[in-house]
Amino acid sequence: MQKSLFVLPDSEITVCMQKSIKEGVPVLTLNQVTRRYGHTTAIDALDFVVPDDTYISLLGASGSGKTTLLRLIAGFEEPDAGTILLDEHHLDGRPPHQRGIGFVFQNFALFPHLTVEQNVAYGLKYRQTGAVSDPKEIRDRTATALSLVGLDGLGHRGVAEISGGQRQRVALARTLVTEPRIVLLDEPLGALDANLRGRMCDELRAIRERLKVSFLHVTGSETEALTMGDKVAVLSQGKIIQSASARTLFERPANAAAARHLNAWNLLSGKVEQDMLKTPAGTVPMPSALRDGVSAQIAIRFDQIDVSPLSEVPAGQHHISARYLTGEFNGPTALSFFRTADGTLLQVVEHFSDARLPSLIEGQTYALHYEPNAALVFEGAAQ
């Protein structure tokens, strides 16, 4: 029988580690899930697995289907086709409050007329299935949840009397106190300022690791997704186009769409001719062979491009000529923007601990070059 997350032996908090009903069974599985709105397909025959005891980031641009996918998993909407399983049990037709799934909304969705403690206890007292009526158990479990998220002693305050970061943690405590099998977080850091986002990243990961509950964290920020996720899944046009560790995804995106979502790769499209890619921006070497005439895209990471004056291109290296537009200082790094004659925008990142770019003059044309084996090639035309 599954043990409670929240017990208080000897007045100390002990967090029991939840495990799957069967070892090795994913906590959440989506098979060929589809959701349409009229003639628009928001989720398209999507397959997706969330392992037990894992922090998954789901990265997608606006309109990719992120919110629709969360609503389908939570039960706020039903798919037109496909199945959703939690611990191998079908969720089809089951209302949200009977799914064993926690949901932390982007705007926190707290009750403004209730105290912090009352907000956290609400789900325990009023849920339709398994409501808790014993006042001592409610107090103990609520206090444990607040302690877990670092809000000891704040239970008596109104939600208007605490900071944005504290409200975020109240929303999380309200979800965790009901002991969900998986927690869905809908852009949970979007309403916080930059300093709070950084702190909450650390706190969310620490809480999840302590509880051993899977988190599915949805975001449109590639930095947030890579920072948070043990694995990162990229959602594009209603499909998961790649799911991998953060490092693998960043260093080896499987396709041009995944690379584009990471905002770290320059993409050039063209036709293959004798192991070269002829693009409107210039001809560039191919790191792998494709047959002549094939459409392809080449991806070069921002931090793997070197810049030099046109007269100082290293011997034997092909280059792209581009005009320097401007630079952007980001603390330990600088981002430089260039535009080719055909209008293509290229970006170059320089780390100040390993400075490699010359002094750049706005409006002047430079040679951008890279080692061919640093590039990735994706067959097919740009979409």
Residue 191 confidence class, pLDDT cut points 50, 70, 90: low
- Model-level pTM? 0.85
Average pLDDT over residues 233-243: 96
Judge whether 82 and 91 are in contact, CB under 8 Å: no
Q: Which of 267, 268, 264 is nearest to 222 (CA)?
A: 264
Please report the pLDDT score of residue 309 as a whole number: 94
Residue 236 confidence class, pLDDT cut points 50, 70, 90: very high
Distance in angstroms (rounded) separating the CA atoms of residues 148 and 156: 17
Domain boundary residue among 198, 230, 251? 251
Which residues, at least 6 apart from 136, have a Cβ–Cβ distance to it below 8 Å? none
Of residues 64 and 178, the one with the higher pLDDT is 64
Average pLDDT over residues 261-287: 91
Considering the domain architecture, whether residues 298 and 240 belong to the same structural domain is answered as: no
Judge whether 324 and 366 are in contact, CB under 8 Å: yes
Please report the pLDDT score of residue 373 as a whole number: 84
CA distances from 298 to 266, 271, 287, 290, 342 (A): 8, 10, 9, 12, 17
Helix-then-strand count for the chain, H and E:
8, 22
For residue 223, give the CATH number of its domain: 3.40.50.300
Considering the domain architecture, whether residues 99 and 177 belong to the same structural domain is answered as: yes
> To the nearest whole percent, how much of the chain has pLDDT over 90?
52
Considering the domain architecture, whether residues 268 and 204 belong to the same structural domain is answered as: no
Considering the domain architecture, whether residues 103 and 222 belong to the same structural domain is answered as: yes
Distance in angstroms (rounded) separating the CA atoms of residues 4 and 51: 20
Considering the domain architecture, whether residues 216 and 333 belong to the same structural domain is answered as: no
In whole numbers, what is the pLDDT of the chain averaged over residues? Answer: 87
Please report the pLDDT score of residue 210 as a whole number: 86
Give Cα 206 to chain centroid, integer Å. 17
Is it the case that residue 195 has pLDDT exceeding 50? yes
Q: Which of 42, 351, 59 is nearest to 231 (CA)?
A: 59
Of residues 383 and 29, the one with the higher pLDDT is 29
Judge whether 125 and 147 are in contact, CB under 8 Å: no
Please report the pLDDT score of residue 190 as a whole number: 75
Angle between helices 194-211 and 135-148 (to 10 degrees): 120
Task: Tell me, yes or no, whether 256 lies in a domain.
Answer: no
Please report the pLDDT score of residue 152 as a whole number: 87
Is it the case that residue 215 has pLDDT exceeding 50? yes
Residue 201 structural domain: 6-251
Average pLDDT over residues 5-32: 54
Beta-carbon count within 10 A of 280 CB? 12
Judge whether 337 and 327 are in contact, CB under 8 Å: yes
Please report the pLDDT score of residue 241 as a whole number: 96
The radius of gyration of the chain from alpha carbons, rounded to an integer in Å, stands at 25
Distance in angstroms (rounded) separating the CA atoms of residues 249 and 243: 8
Average pLDDT over residues 120-141: 83
Is it the case that residue 213 has pLDDT exceeding 50? yes
Is it the case that residue 379 has pLDDT exceeding 80? yes
Considering the domain architecture, whether residues 220 and 104 belong to the same structural domain is answered as: yes
Please report the pLDDT score of residue 256 as a whole number: 94
Task: Tell me, yes or no, whether 214 lies in a domain.
Answer: yes
Distance in angstroms (rounded) separating the CA atoms of residues 1 and 23: 14
Residue 338 confidence class, pLDDT cut points 50, 70, 90: very high
pLDDT winner (highest mean) among 70-79, 148-157, 175-184, 373-382:
70-79
Domain boundary residue among 251, 276, 297? 251
Of residues 233 and 198, the one with the higher pLDDT is 233
Average pLDDT over residues 284-299: 87
Which residues, at least 6 apart from 103, have a Cβ–Cβ distance to it below 8 Å? 70, 74, 96, 175, 183, 184, 186
Please report the pLDDT score of residue 360 as a whole number: 94
CA distances from 309 to 91, 360, 366 (A): 61, 9, 5
Considering the domain architecture, whether residues 127 and 54 belong to the same structural domain is answered as: yes
The DSSP call for residue 158 is B
